[in-house]
Amino acid sequence: MQLTISGLLYQTIQSLLLVLVAPLFLGWVNQCRAWFQNRSGPGLFQPYRNLLKLVNKDAVMAHGASGLFRTTPYVLFACMWLAAGIVPVLATDLPYAPAADVIALVGVFALARVFLALAAMDIGTAFGSLGARREMLVAFLAEPALLMVFFTASLISHSTSLTTIVETLAHREFVVYPSMAFAAVAFLLVFLAENARIPVDNPATHLELTMIHEAMILEYSARHLALIEWAVAIKLTAYTAIGIALFMPWGVIEAGHWEGLPTALGAFVAKLLAAGLGLALLETVSAKMRIFRAPEFLGTAFLLGVLGMLIRFLLES
């Protein structure tokens, strides 16, 4: 793919867009959840206020914290930003996209996770290690399922590059793929597990026995915590964007078109709002599971992913 000015422009717009919009998306999900639970809610811009508050505070480090602990928030943020730059949100003409295909994308998420888990264990508190172990338990089950989802989409488009996949899926005649339906359900399960949402983990909890993600970042404060929270918001938005790109890619701009930008932007915002609403609804109607049920939950995701792939071979070849 040759470098074009429109490509560079789209790349810049969408990398900045996802990063800047991420806290707003988190705020939207929280607000929807508050509405569903008959609360008034903190407002859409609360995540930004939180970040601002945290940035203005003085950072406190635990005794014996190594450089790893200090650098992890930056690594985490960089990984999520990289992921946000690869996912085609507005256009498929991204000069940056060949940097990583879907398999490398899964690797980028894994890299961030490994650093976070190591940093959690670095301090040596019981909660940090406990959170890291639980996170790894969830992650090693979620990762193969996510790969299966990507492979199903790759089989349809004969490429592992996310931009090519989206181009193929968005610009074809309308065919219902049963395999993609299986993959969509599997992706939803992985999405909930990887982003520490309710059936697997509760993002709002401060109850030590049940938390996974929160337990790992207990020792962080001020700007480090702000970076981590921001990275988490970007991860949630990037995952949502991947889901949108794979399963409802309509409205994405083809290479070399300028005039489609407002439509693409409008379509993306509408889809993001709908996804946030759906996520909040899902989180309201379901209860958190015991941690020991998580393997079964993610086993189901893996099963559905593999079934999707098999059905692709049997029915659609």
Partner 1 sequence: MGIPVTSQMINILASLMLLIAFAMLSQRRIISLINLFAWQGAVLVASTLIVAGTTGQEHLFYSALITLVLKVILLPWILHRLIRRLNVKWDVETLINIPTTMLAGLLLVIVAFNLALPISEMASTVTRSTLGIAMACVLLSFLMMITRSKAVPQVIGFLSMENGLFFAATSATYGMPMVVELGIALDVLVGTLIFAIFFFQIRQTFDSLDLKHMEKLKE
If you write DSSP's letter for every residue of 199-248 in order, what string do you get? Answer: TT--TT---TTT-SHHHHTTT--HHHHHHHHHHHHHHHHHHHHHHHHHH-
Site for partner 1 in 241-300 (CB under 8 A): 295-296, 299-300
**Does the CA dihedral 29-33-38-42 come out positive or negative?**
negative
> Cα–Cα distances in Å, from 216 out to 212, 293, 311?
7, 21, 39
CB of 315 to partner 1, least distance (A): 5
Alpha helices (runs of H) in the chain, residue ranges in sequence order: 5-36, 46-55, 67-86, 102-122, 126-157, 162-170, 178-194, 213-216, 222-247, 261-285, 294-315
> Based on CB atoms, which residue is closest to partner 1, 279 or 304?
304
Q: Pattern 114-153, binding to partner 1, x per CB under 8 A?
A: ----------------------------------------
Q: Looking at 179-187, 235-243, 253-261, 273-281, which segment touches partner 1 (CB under 8 A)?
A: 179-187
CA dist 235 and 256 (Å) reads: 28
In the complex with partner 1, which residue's Cβ is closer, 172 or 206? 172
Among 110, 314, 103, smallest CA distance to 306 is for 314
In whole angstroms, give the CA distance from residue 57 to residue 73. 16
Q: Which is nearer to partner 1, 176 or 207 (CB)?
A: 176
Residue 253, strand partner residues: 91
Q: Which of residues 297-316 bind partner 1 (CB under 8 A)?
A: 299-300, 303, 306-307, 310-311, 313-316
Considering only residues 157 to 176 of the shown chain, the ones binding partner 1 according to CB under 8 A are: 172-173, 175-176
Count of residues of this chain found to bind partner 1 when the rule CB under 8 A is applied: 21
Nearest CB to partner 1, comparing residues 54 and 307: 307
- Segment 180-219, which members bind partner 1 (CB under 8 A)? 181-182
Our CB check for partner 1 shows the closer of 98 and 299 to be 299
Binding site for partner 1 (CB under 8 A): 172-173, 175-176, 178-179, 181-182, 295-296, 299-300, 303, 306-307, 310-311, 313-316
